[in-house]
Structure 1
Amino acid sequence: MEENQSMALKPQTMTQGPIGRQIIIFSLPLLGSSLIQQLYNTVDLIFVGRFLNPSAAAAVGAGSLLVFCALGIFIGLSVGTGVVTARYLGAGDYERVNKTIHTAMAMSIYGGAVFTLLGIGLAPLLLKLLNTPQEIMAQATLYIRIYFCGFMAMSSYNMGAGILRALGDSKSPMIYQLIGGLGNVGANFLFIPILGWGVGGSAVATLCSQTVAALLVFLHLVRGNRYYRLRLKGLSIAREYGGRILAVGIPAGIQGVVVTLSNLLVQSHINTLSINSIAAFTAYFRVELFIYLPILAISQTAGIFAGHNIGAGKLNRVRKGTRVCLAIGVITAVSLSGSVLLMGEHLFALFTNSKAVVAIGLELAKVTFPFYFIYVFLEIFASVVRGAGKAIPPMIIILVTLCGLRLILVNVFMHLWPSATSVAVVYPLTWLTAALALGGYYFLGKWGKQEG
């Protein structure tokens, strides 16, 4: 009887049972979390755009890249934490799971505090380096400084969410983020149109909502069962576990930041086209989310699944799970791509009332969406290899293909045939190159080797 109760308390892994069902059930809350995150961004844009002047919106935009780059490092660390936690959990080594959790949360708190001080102190200098116009410098500085006051909460939420997902719980982070998102809507309404706090009000709203989500995750861990309960007195950075987290997290963080920066360079080429083409790409990237986010959720699940089963020494189950994830991902990508193409005119019309912009957007979609299933392979192969603790190979491959090669092709194509279609063609070409390289590493590499 006591043994059964003890087993019931143990965190759930994906080392046994029907793979397809586990992948789908685990992926859905991850998709929900991504959609809620988009809600955060959209709500901020709506309130700033509708209730404030264009300079305020520009001030928010000027600092967004800076914030994302800083937060990207901690998002990468949360990936590293999830990988390490999942492998120890799969191996049934609950003592190491516990030590990893305490190290990760200590890193998020101490690291978040350091980034808060740096962000507040260096905001004017960093904004100046980004060529922020002088007329919006004061508002942008205010926005960034308030935003960084909540950086510890943001880093703690991401780290805690990564831990919970690695422990087999993808629902709780989604629920906590939803509560924070609803709070964000209410706080924006209070601080901007009612209290008139302007740009600062938008930043304070984000600070409050992220703090609520972080506290909920923190309380969940503190009140967790004895296998992973977070104890305040145990918060410290153990070198062994911190090193393992950094080994996966730093490459993942660098990858995310560099890919974002490379996309900005691609955007600089797009900005040389007509106004309609620029608007069409803006709408295209939003419509693309309908396909991208479900694929992202499946690939994140593939990484956790790989971590659990490699930790348990079940490499054949990892390979089977990879095939299942690829099948689910391809079916999802083909179904959604086809649906989006069929309803493309109506979807693009959600983001623009210009028929010319809609027409260009549809042309872009026709070039890329039929090949979106290729993207499934690069995402899932990268996640599985990363889930095995090998973060550097996928980082190098993705940086070379989706950053380096993409920039080269955009420069060449735009020089020879300057048009929106020339930019669009580059995307499936680089997806294919990355998928082939990652697939080659997956089938030929020693990524499944168990570590101590």
Structure 2
Amino acid sequence: MIKDLTKGSTSKVIVAFSIPMILGNLFQQLYNIVDSIIVGKFIGTNALAAVGSSFAVMVFITSILLGLCMGTSVVFAQFFGAKNIKDLKTTMSTSFIFIGIISLVISILSIIFVDNILIFMNIPEELCKDTRKYLIIIFSGIFFTFLYNWAAGLLRSLGNSKAPLYFLIVAAITNIALDLIFVIYFDMGVSGAALATIISQALSAILCIIYCIKNLGFLKFKMNEIKFSKEIFKLTSSYSLLTSMQQSIMNFGILMIQGLVNSFGATTMAAFAAAVKIDSFAYMPVQDFSNAFSTYVAQNKGAGESKRIKSGIKFSIILITVFCLFITIVVEIFADKLMLIFVNSSEIQVIAIGVTYLRIVSLFYCFIGYLFMFYGLYRGLGHVKVSIVLSVISLGIRVVLAYVLSPIVGLKGIWWAIPIGWIIADTIGGIHYFKSKVVV
């Protein structure tokens, strides 16, 4: 179903469009979370640490593609909002060719340099074998990550956020079933968990592509319309390359933090792996809400509806505040219970480290929520460079403080560096909004 986000009640339109995206990404997060739960419970702490470190690497590398797809979807939304179907179709074919080639190159290079990645990440020697196995299989499926996110980005740019959700539900259920079969029944270890993940990703990608072909009749291509346009590429790349840069910077900072955490040993790695899963799952809804908000802003920018953008900003701030305060309370109260999802109760030290992390970082979820909103706003308006600057500020401060404070106060220095980066970036994002008057 195609949805015009330039009409109707602002709050109802944003909520109705964002809920399927939030649910969809929560299911997508289940891929690695289920891997971690099953690996941690049935294989052990070292395997959990290997999968957890792999997740940071995997997110960084795939973030390049996600950024390209997210940036391109903004152009899709703007052309759709302006009812410019001709250029929308040209953007589709151009972006598919460009990002598809990039995904294959990334996949091949990641496999070739996997050992260098392990060295860069400070992976302990006893974990290298499992981490290497897991990553090679995951890297082999990168093209499916591109396929799904490109097709899902197209559907969402047209106001259809429900179809991608359905495909992710199917994929998540498949992933859980295959995890149980490969890891427990066939005793395939971390390789089984990785294989379950890429098969599930392939399924969601194929289903999404088939849906687009069958249901977007008004975008049906003739052979001469499948082309690579240099003009459209310049326009698209101004969004997609910068958004990709933003996503890469964000996740490179996380990768740097992961490398620092790894230097504290396997127990800390396992605790961090579990805590970060809980952390990301807790604030993932506001991140996805902000991605939905970006599409809303893009469509309304294309239609010249600045008043709707302003009202959308006010509504988003209220919603993010209420949700994040609720999640903060939940995590603060149940931090130890949440850690037990990933590790056995006998892992007392792992649980203690994870609980400390969660009880520090969760106090500041509102600030990461506001930061995601700024990312979505500036990306939707086409001011992607501002999003990049905010990412650099947030993660630059986080990384520098983590490396400065950890030798002085230990792990708590790393944990406190995270919200400090959020707060400073929020402050700068707010000052820029009011001073530059980006929405008139």
Q: Counterpart of 1:334?
A: 325
Partner of 1:92: 83
Query: Any conservation in 2 of the 1:410–1:426 contact (CA below 8 Å)?
Result: yes
Quick check: 1:308 aligned with 2:303? no
Query: Of residues 154, 158, 161 in structure 1, which corresponds to 2:152?
Result: 161
Q: Which structure 2 residues correspond to residues 293-372 of structure 1 after superposition, within 5 A?
A: 293-351=284-342, 353=345, 364-372=357-365
Specify the alignment match of 1:181 in structure 2.
Answer: 172
Q: CA deviation at 1:299?
A: 1.0
Structure 1 window deviating more from structure 2 (20-29 vs 74-83): it is 20-29
- Aligned partners of 1:105 and 1:235 also within 8 Å: no
Alignment of 1:68-79 (within 5 A): 68-79=59-70
Write the distance in 1 (CA, Å) between the matches of 2:437 and 2:13. Answer: 26
Relative distance call for 1:446 and 1:93 in structure 2 (3 A) is farther
Cα 1:358–1:225 change in 2 (3 A) is: closer
- 1:413 maps to which residue? 405
The 10-residue stretch of structure 1 (129-138 or 295-304) with the greater mean CA deviation from structure 2:
129-138
CA contact (8 A) 2:46 2:270 kept: no
List per-residue Cα deviations over 1:40-68 (Å, max 9, x = no partner).
11222344455657776676566544433
Which residue of 357, 375, 393 corresponds with 1:382? 375
User: Which one of the candidate residues 203, 207, 217 is aligned to 1:212?
Assistant: 203
Give 3-state SS (helix, strand or coil) of 1:372's partner.
helix
Post-superposition offset of 1:405: 1.6
Q: Whole-Å Cα distance in 1 between the matches of residues 413 and 115 of structure 2?
A: 38
1:26 corresponds in structure 2 to 17
My pick for the range that moved more, 291-300 or 353-362, is: 353-362
Q: Deviations over 1:399-452 (max 9, x none)?
A: 12x222223333443455x14444333333222210111112222336459xxx
The one-letter amino acid of 2:368's match is: Y
What code does the residue aligned with 1:396 have? V
Q: Which residue of 2 aligns with 1:426?
A: 417
How many residue pairs are counted as aligned between the two chains?
438
- Quick one: distance in 2 between partners of 1:203 and 1:279? 18
In the TM superposition, what is the alpha-carbon distance from 1:395 to its structure 2 partner? 0.6
Contact 1:98 1:227 (C-alpha < 8 Å) held by counterparts? no
- Based on CA coordinates, which of the two structures has the bigger radius of gyration? 1
Aligned amino acid, residue 33 of structure 1:
G
Question: Residue 138 of structure 2 is aligned with which of 144, 147, 158?
Answer: 147
Determine helix, strand or coil for the equivalent of 1:300. Answer: helix
Alpha-carbon distance between aligned partners in 2 of 1:101 and 1:225, rounded to the nearest angstrom: 12
Residue of structure 1 equivalent to 2:384 = 391
Task: For 2:163, give the aligned amino acid.
Answer: S
* Map of 2:7 onto structure 1: 16
TM-score (norm 2): 0.86
Which deviations, in whole Å up to 9, do the C-alpha atoms of 1:182-208 show, x marking residues without a partner?
222333344444455555444433332
The equivalent residue for 1:42 is: 33
**8 Å contact kept, 1:80–1:244:** no
Kindly state the Cα deviation for residue 133 of structure 1 after the two structures are TM-superposed. Answer: 6.7
What TM-score results when the alignment is normalised by the length of structure 1? 0.84
Pair 225,423 (structure 1): closer, same or farther in 2 beyond 3 Å:
closer
5 Å matches for 1:284-299? 284-299=275-290
| Cα distance in structure 1, aligned partners of 2:224 and 2:170 | 28
The residue that corresponds to 1:6 in the other structure is none
Shift of 1:164: 1.0
1:150-209 C-alpha deviation (Å, 9 max, x unpaired): 222211111111111111111111111121222223333444444555554444333322
* Stretch moving more, 146-155 or 349-358: 349-358
Counterpart AA for 1:255 = Q
State the match for 1:5 in structure 2. none
Quote the offset at 1:347 in angstroms. Answer: 3.6
State the distance in 1 between where 2:359 and 2:130 align: 41
- 1:398 offset after TM fit, Å? 1.7
Q: Is the 8 A contact 1:414 1:422 kept in 2?
A: yes
Larger RCO, structures 1/2 (Cα 8 Å, 6+ apart): 2
